[in-house]
Structure 1
Amino acid sequence: MKILALISFLIGLTAATGDDLHYVDPLIGSTAGGNVFVGASLPYGLAKPVADVDGQNTGGFSTDGSNVTGFSHMHDSGTGGNPSQGQFPLFPQLCRDNIVDNCRFGKTDRATHYIQDSVVARPGYFAVRLENGIHAEMTASQRTALYRFKFPETHASNGDTLDPVILLDLTDLWSSRQNASISLDADSARIVGNGTFLPSFGAGSYRTFFCADFTGAEVRDNGIWVNNRAGSEPKALYVTRGFNNFYLQAGGYVTFERPDDGVVTVRVGVSYVSSQQACTNAEAEVPAPGKDFARLEQEAVDSWSEKLSPIKITAGGMSDAMISAFWSGIYRTMLSPQNMTGENPVWKSDEPYFDSFYCIWDQFRAQLPLLSLIDPETQTNLIRSLLDTYKNEGWLPDCRMSLCKGWTQGGSNADVVLTDAFVKNLTNIDWELAYKAMVNDAENEPLEWSYEGRGGLQSWKRLNYIPYLDFDYLGFGTNSRSISRTVEYAYNDYGLAVVGKGLGKSENTKYLSRANNWRNLFKADQKSVLENGTDTGFTGFFQPKYLNRTWGFQDPIACSALASWCSLTSNPSETFESSIWEYLFYVPHDMAALIKLLGGPDSFVKRLDYFHTSGLADIGNEPVFLTVYQYHYAGRPALSTARAHNYIPRSFNASTNGIPGNDDSGAMGSFLVWSMMGLFPNAGQNVYLISAPFFEAVEVTHPITNCTATIRNSNFDPTYRKVYIQSALLNGRPYTKNWIGHEFFTQGMTLELMLGEHESDWGTRVEDLPPSLSDNQARDEATVGMHGVGMMGS
């Protein structure tokens, strides 16, 4: 009987789709704060051309109906805060009576509406038509953007055809430019230059270079412009901040004789090293810009198809819109970090260099574990890049963009990334170096811990928590987030213990002890009251604690979706971007101990239900992700499934506002992908929590082992009345655990789920629950008593 069921199951998989790239819609999340990058890019590509707007422009373009101010060549995707990158934008226009001083120069003056239904976005391609009739389309190679601007035939008052004009502006999206220079070649249609800019969420400054070539039309004239005037002489310009940081608007321009087809092609090479390298990049990647557009677009399509190929789905009647949301979520996880190997002037190295970790606090929970599964080669290179940063700058980054150190949001969460890769057996990584870097985070405090390492380590080691208003004279940083840093440091140290155990190190007892430090901020009698005075009915929450071990106070609902926003700079508090309510659940390594502390499984479930139904939970921010699935640890996996279906498709869907918050380099997209696949990772552990896929079946072919893992709903219901697992077979044998390990993928196992309309007893027994540190320690003690040898699970 089992053999027949398995044969039937495998036959059904022949319905899995082939190349699903046509489902990818880059415009999902392009408004309402999703901040996604919608333009052309290769996987992890540095060149990212798109139209920049004056509305929601953190990712460059938005479908908010605002005005286009230029077309620039590098962007980040899904970030919050200030707009990122967008340097050296081009702006095509037709100037009245062919007089260059009649052109519109500055961002505000030249801003032009785009035609909403003209926007076309697909992998490797973006196009839009402006209300002035100019049509722009663009594609990209790794370090080169390629544009085609088609100008309408328009006439001056004297009947002459208006000449196409293309400006280049020495600015960026944020107008953060500190200085810049530009040089135009009088004998060829080439402009080179560079500028120094500020990172949008970090310290210091960075310098980028460009090399722009124009083809397809005869050049009539070129020169520079400053403010609202231009001239063909001189051919070079340097600008800097002036008196009172005055921002001078300036750049270059080229005018053309209108070609018969109206098309002017612009190739823009970019680099972080030099203008010459930007030119070299462009010439190598796009040797024939007038002919290479179709080739580049096809190469982008091929690259994206290859990256998405490990996953196949059998839709089983699911809507095309949700299929699109799924594939688009995977696509966005590979826009950043960006592969800048060979583009790092800060240090010399033969190791890979990736940038735009923006930020690891957002990425480690779902995005990077997804890359470990479907693109482990790149994930390995990402980790090698992190370790090379440690070798050359002294610390693992928690956030990094444009060669700059980004602000640390919580703990040293690159430690979790390393631990996750370690327990999933990623190879070609120097694990001794990784362990050394993690120990450095745990033991040594940097002078400036606002952008690297951890602060408050004296108190962490002496008091076993981060105090409120800590006395920290060793280093400097934002002296806040004492609760969220405490719980994150505890998990970081747990990861260090896991890696150390695997490498045979002797310090594990110390780090396992520190992994329990979250307990020291739990105030058992603390109540939570809503702003209207209503008692939530729950007692026991984390609270800040002073150096003298007495309690401080932060309202448990503060910094939640029901109260005011709390960040590093806006209303800094003892929790970061979320409430005590939310951080109470952040004990990912010892959920059994947390559940016991909160009164047992029933009490825990009631508290988790209240959190998700009262408005306290912010599904648009990453700390909430794991809470959707933590019912598994209380023996109620069906409730995790119900919670996921509550958020999908209500908050995650295929609309332009189909992401509930900043995509954060693909974090939101990866939450959706994992949820729809029916598994969710507890990052840093070899644990995937099992739920029912949103499809009839999903296959994942591991790129290293080439083994194919399959999850199938044997009685899939596309109306989603039957979403609760009644029973499961793993490789044809009954399987009762509500979690599974990474070997499911590497060995190519098959998981068949029988679904029903109501919660069952599947996955509810104590022996079916995911592992927790306190359970493992209890087993270790028993093992030591019987055999004299202890083991630590992960």
Structure 2
Amino acid sequence: MRLNKSWPAAFLFATCARASVDPLSLVDPLIGTNNGGNVFAGANLPYGMAKAVADVNGENTGGFATDGSSVTGFSSMHDSGTGGNPSLGNFPIFPQICKDDVIDNCDFLIGSRAVSYINSSVVATPGYFALALSNGITAEMTATHHAALYKFNFQDALNGTTGTKPLVLLDLTDLWQSRQNATISIDETSGRISANGTFLPSFGSGSYESFVCVDFAGGSVNDTGIWVNNRAGTVVKDLFVTRGFNDFYLQAGGFVTFDSISANVFYARVGVSLVSTHQACRNAETEISDPASNFSQIQTSAESAWREKLSPVSVNATGVSENLQTLFWSAIYRTMMSPQNYTGENPLWNSTEPYFDSFYCIWDAFRVQYPLLTIVDPNAMSQMVRSLIDTYKYEGWMPDCRMSLCKGWTQGGSNADVVLADAFVKNLTGIDWDLAYDGLVNDAENEPLDWSVQGRGGLQSWKNLDYIPYLDFDYLGFGTNSRSISRTVEYAYNDYCVSVVGKGLGKTNATTYLSRSMNWQNIFKADQTSYINGTDTGFVGFFQPKYLNGTWGYQDPIACSPLASFCSLTDNPSETFESSVWEYQFYVPHDMSSLISTLGGADHFISRLDFYFESGIADIGNEPVFLSVYAYHYAGRPGLSTRRAHSFIPAYFNATESGLPGNDDSGAMASFTIFSQLGLFPVAGQNVYLISTPFFDSINITSPQTQKTATIRVTNFDPTYTDIYIMNATLNGEPYTKSWIGHEFFLEGQTLELTVGPNESASTWGTSADDLPPSISTATQLLV
């Protein structure tokens, strides 16, 4: 969907004030398709495997981008919002007309066939994507779970060329051009194209096989063949291709030409699979029986599926701008694209359990995305948790990152532990918790040979020294020997999460992990200072790397922040991952009370938070920042959390194509937006939501588990967002002074009413010691 920026304000207000609005009309899949958001903009179902879109030669990590680049093909598998290398995009098809119907007058190579698209022609809605190419061909697409349906119209293209027989090629490649080998076969009678290939994951180790089956309808087959290096022939119908000599990337594929096209339109049905070409064909035939007449029906079914997924949430948006509404509903939509449900498409083991893929990566998503799905789609979230546990059962470890059947790189700790703890404390059902606990203990106790893709490294030091050392001596396994600070902080919280589940199950070893959760204290250097451009920040005491012998190393506290260079696993590896010491110093979710004391008390903590945000050190484009936005709650100043959230929305998160401050990371950025607009922010792994002021007059969420409706209502709601500070609150009509609430709010359908005003300093709500969010040093029973 494209919003018309010229619509008058009166029209926008009238639209917002409608009594009943279809949320799908407020979903814009193009948000985040520019400026590095890498959002998938095409047609798909919730958690669907098939994801159809036009691929471009610009910012194509998610396939399509609104960056003015050119279209190189249309492919049917993608990930959304990821960083690094482009993901999937296997076996793109591409329509064109050869001048004078001479096959070699067509362009087969990616670089030569690219054609610009007409910017104003782009239409993206849930379950549908369309655009017009500058050569006159228009393309529409929709999708089922394992198949995509494309509709190509050649009328304008045929009017502008001497050719009469449209051609569709299939390229044996992917977006990253990682293909190792591939095979293609074209049926010369029906035109069916079957292909398979071996490719590399974009952020992991190993390789995977992908399979595709393409059928056409609406026209009769004229000829078929293969192409290699921009030359084609019609004699040979089968081809096997490797990567090429001396790693030269050999471009190759197959093609079909058509004549007798009805109304200048024909259809391409693409079935996908990770098992076999036979299964890819069966998927397509089962889900799209008649390509020439099913398009509208499939699009309508996709819209219905998305509407059902959004249905637990409703808002009273009176006075709220359409841009903020679009931001909200589009964000919920983006949280349900990945992880992808590949149940039945996992060739690695036989199981009756669900299999989800594209956990890309849990380090990004555990903080907000999975807690959101626990509220609005608990059944899907339960299946994802079961999939993580099943992966442990058959592969020996729960993943921290996984895509395309491959193990992804571990970025921090074993953060599937946090996902399981969050599911446990929020009573997700259908989960084998004894097996789950085995997986949690395995993460905490056993070091894998290759801890770069699973589990934890440095466990010998973790157990004996109570921290991860700088330049650790680790002979038990191998991985990127960096991130000693961020791994120490994350391992501490991972162990806390193990203790939560263990305590709940009555396991005697739970106290061991609770004790280890305090290891973050062992890397705090009380006299460490921090400077910016030679000027002392005035703050003393920061996490620092520590050697095996207990002596201190050094990392500049602002390193890896927006004020310095970016730090990743391979580019400038350091002792913190993708974030600074300044940012990680606020990540002790289980004992913020102790952290605040360590940093000098509540006033000093607030001053440090303010400086962190206002100096430019905080990186709002990356996930470790999220909880720190709401850390003021723990110092008794919840109104400052609300004010900080409002400073980022809509300044950094908005309803434009460049409306994300970083990669969406499969919906992590989207989820931060949603919770901030809802006014309840999760502390993942705990039964805690921090209360702030919503962006709407009222919000209703009906629990799919209990069918009870929870309501958040704002008295004196101010759509100018001047009066945003909570003065007092009631829960089910009774005074409520705590600045946090538990998941029972959703399960029991409670009502939270917030009265707001213009002055944070005038409010005493949520400020007393008894009203602060729990910490294990002050209220262990509330957490464990």
TM class, shorter-length? over 0.9
**Residues 426-465 of structure 1 mapped to structure 2, 5 A cutoff:** 426-465=428-467
The equivalent residue for 1:394 is: 396
Cα distance in 1 for residues equivalent to 2:598 and 2:772: 17
Judge conservation of contact 1:326–1:672 (CA < 8 Å) in 2: yes
Residues 732, 702 of structure 1: alpha-carbon distance in 2 compared, 3 angstrom cutoff: same
Cα distance in 2 for residues equivalent to 1:498 and 1:670: 24
Cα distance in 1 for residues equivalent to 2:658 and 2:783: 41
Report the alpha carbon displacement of residue 19 of structure 1 after superposing the two structures with TM.
Answer: 3.2
What's the CA shift string for 1:350-373, capped at 9, x where partnerless? 100000000000000000000000
What's the CA shift string for 1:36-64, capped at 9, x where partnerless? 00000000000001000000000000000
What's the CA shift string for 1:269-327, capped at 9, x where partnerless? 00000000000000000000101101110010000000000000001200011100000
Alignment partner of 1:665: what SS?
helix
Return the letter of the residue paired with 2:740. W
Please point out which of 105, 108, 130 is paired with 2:133.
130
**Residues 380-529 of structure 1 mapped to structure 2, 5 A cutoff:** 380-529=382-531
Return the letter of the residue paired with 2:37. G
- The answer to whether structure 1 residue 117 and structure 2 residue 107 are counterparts is no
The equivalent residue for 1:51 is: 54
Return the letter of the residue paired with 1:173. L
Judge conservation of contact 2:774–2:782 (CA < 8 Å) in 1: no
Return the letter of the residue paired with 2:613. H
The equivalent residue for 2:150 is: 147
The equivalent residue for 2:740 is: 739
What's the CA shift string for 1:399-440, capped at 9, x where partnerless? 000000000000000000000000001111000011110000
Judge conservation of contact 2:696–2:717 (CA < 8 Å) in 1: yes
Cα distance in 2 for residues equivalent to 1:17 and 1:478: 53
Cα distance in 2 for residues equivalent to 1:357 and 1:345: 18
Judge conservation of contact 2:137–2:156 (CA < 8 Å) in 1: no
The equivalent residue for 2:108 is: 105
The equivalent residue for 1:690 is: 691
Return the letter of the residue paired with 1:78. G
**Residues 252-401 of structure 1 mapped to structure 2, 5 A cutoff:** 252-401=254-403
The equivalent residue for 1:221 is: 223
Return the letter of the residue paired with 2:552. W
The equivalent residue for 1:756 is: 757
The equivalent residue for 2:5 is: none
Report the alpha carbon displacement of residue 15 of structure 1 after superposing the two structures with TM.
Answer: 8.3
The equivalent residue for 1:575 is: 576
What's the CA shift string for 1:252-278, capped at 9, x where partnerless? 011111524111100000000000000
Judge conservation of contact 1:468–1:546 (CA < 8 Å) in 2: yes
What's the CA shift string for 1:197-232, capped at 9, x where partnerless? 000000000000000001101111010000011001
**Cα RMSD between the aligned structures?**
1.2
Cα distance in 1 for residues equivalent to 2:83 and 2:56: 16
Report the alpha carbon displacement of residue 17 of structure 1 after superposing the two structures with TM.
Answer: 3.8
Return the letter of the residue paired with 1:20. P
The equivalent residue for 1:668 is: 669
Return the letter of the residue paired with 2:530. S
Alignment partner of 1:181: what SS?
strand
- Percent identity of the aligned residues? 67
What's the CA shift string for 1:578-617, capped at 9, x where partnerless? 0000000010100000000000000000000011110000
Residues 511, 233 of structure 1: alpha-carbon distance in 2 compared, 3 angstrom cutoff: same
Cα distance in 2 for residues equivalent to 1:49 and 1:18: 27
Cα distance in 2 for residues equivalent to 1:141 and 1:135: 21
Cα distance in 2 for residues equivalent to 1:239 and 1:671: 44
User: Higher mean Cα deviation, 641-650 or 239-248?
Assistant: 239-248
The equivalent residue for 1:195 is: 197
- The answer to whether structure 1 residue 553 and structure 2 residue 543 are counterparts is no
Return the letter of the residue paired with 2:116. H
Judge conservation of contact 1:98–1:156 (CA < 8 Å) in 2: no
Residues 156, 689 of structure 1: alpha-carbon distance in 2 compared, 3 angstrom cutoff: closer
Judge conservation of contact 1:165–1:255 (CA < 8 Å) in 2: yes
- The answer to whether structure 1 residue 167 and structure 2 residue 203 are counterparts is no
Cα distance in 2 for residues equivalent to 1:114 and 1:160: 22
Report the alpha carbon displacement of residue 154 of structure 1 after superposing the two structures with TM.
Answer: 5.2
The equivalent residue for 2:29 is: 26
Please point out which of 238, 250, 259 is paired with 1:236.
238
What's the CA shift string for 1:732-771, capped at 9, x where partnerless? 1110000000000100000111110001111000000000
The equivalent residue for 1:727 is: 728
Alignment partner of 2:728: what SS?
strand
Report the alpha carbon displacement of residue 162 of structure 1 after superposing the two structures with TM.
Answer: 2.2
Gaps of at least 5 residues in structure 2 are 1-16
Return the letter of the residue paired with 1:452. Q
The equivalent residue for 2:718 is: 717
The equivalent residue for 1:601 is: 602
Judge conservation of contact 1:153–1:161 (CA < 8 Å) in 2: no
Judge conservation of contact 2:737–2:771 (CA < 8 Å) in 1: yes
Report the alpha carbon displacement of residue 156 of structure 1 after superposing the two structures with TM.
Answer: 9.5
Cα distance in 2 for residues equivalent to 1:574 and 1:17: 51
Report the alpha carbon displacement of residue 619 of structure 1 after superposing the two structures with TM.
Answer: 0.4
What's the CA shift string for 1:519-557, capped at 9, x where partnerless? 000000000001x20111100000000000000000000
Judge conservation of contact 1:96–1:156 (CA < 8 Å) in 2: no
Cα distance in 2 for residues equivalent to 1:201 and 1:550: 35
Alignment partner of 2:666: what SS?
coil
The equivalent residue for 2:4 is: none
Alignment partner of 1:407: what SS?
coil
The equivalent residue for 2:251 is: 249
Alignment partner of 1:147: what SS?
strand
Report the alpha carbon displacement of residue 510 of structure 1 after superposing the two structures with TM.
Answer: 1.1
Cα distance in 2 for residues equivalent to 1:444 and 1:376: 30
What's the CA shift string for 1:161-192, capped at 9, x where partnerless? 52111110000000000000000011212010
The equivalent residue for 1:630 is: 631
Judge conservation of contact 1:16–1:315 (CA < 8 Å) in 2: no
Residues 229, 592 of structure 1: alpha-carbon distance in 2 compared, 3 angstrom cutoff: same
Cα distance in 2 for residues equivalent to 1:100 and 1:555: 61
Return the letter of the residue paired with 1:93. Q
Judge conservation of contact 2:486–2:575 (CA < 8 Å) in 1: yes
Judge conservation of contact 1:154–1:162 (CA < 8 Å) in 2: no
Cα distance in 1 for residues equivalent to 2:579 and 2:434: 35
Residues 230, 663 of structure 1: alpha-carbon distance in 2 compared, 3 angstrom cutoff: same
The equivalent residue for 2:8 is: none
Judge conservation of contact 2:545–2:555 (CA < 8 Å) in 1: yes
Cα distance in 2 for residues equivalent to 1:507 and 1:672: 38
Cα distance in 1 for residues equivalent to 2:68 and 2:198: 30
Cα distance in 2 for residues equivalent to 1:160 and 1:39: 32
Gaps of at least 5 residues in structure 1 are 1-13, 778-790
Return the letter of the residue paired with 1:262. N
Cα distance in 2 for residues equivalent to 1:54 and 1:85: 14
Return the letter of the residue paired with 1:263. V
Alignment partner of 1:49: what SS?
strand
Alignment partner of 1:261: what SS?
helix
Cα distance in 1 for residues equivalent to 2:489 and 2:178: 35
What's the CA shift string for 1:658-706, capped at 9, x where partnerless? 1110000000001000000000000000000000100000000000100
Report the alpha carbon displacement of residue 243 of structure 1 after superposing the two structures with TM.
Answer: 2.1
The equivalent residue for 1:793 is: 783
Cα distance in 2 for residues equivalent to 1:316 and 1:592: 39
Cα distance in 2 for residues equivalent to 1:770 and 1:17: 36
Return the letter of the residue paired with 1:557. I
Return the letter of the residue paired with 2:350. K
Cα distance in 1 for residues equivalent to 2:264 and 2:180: 36
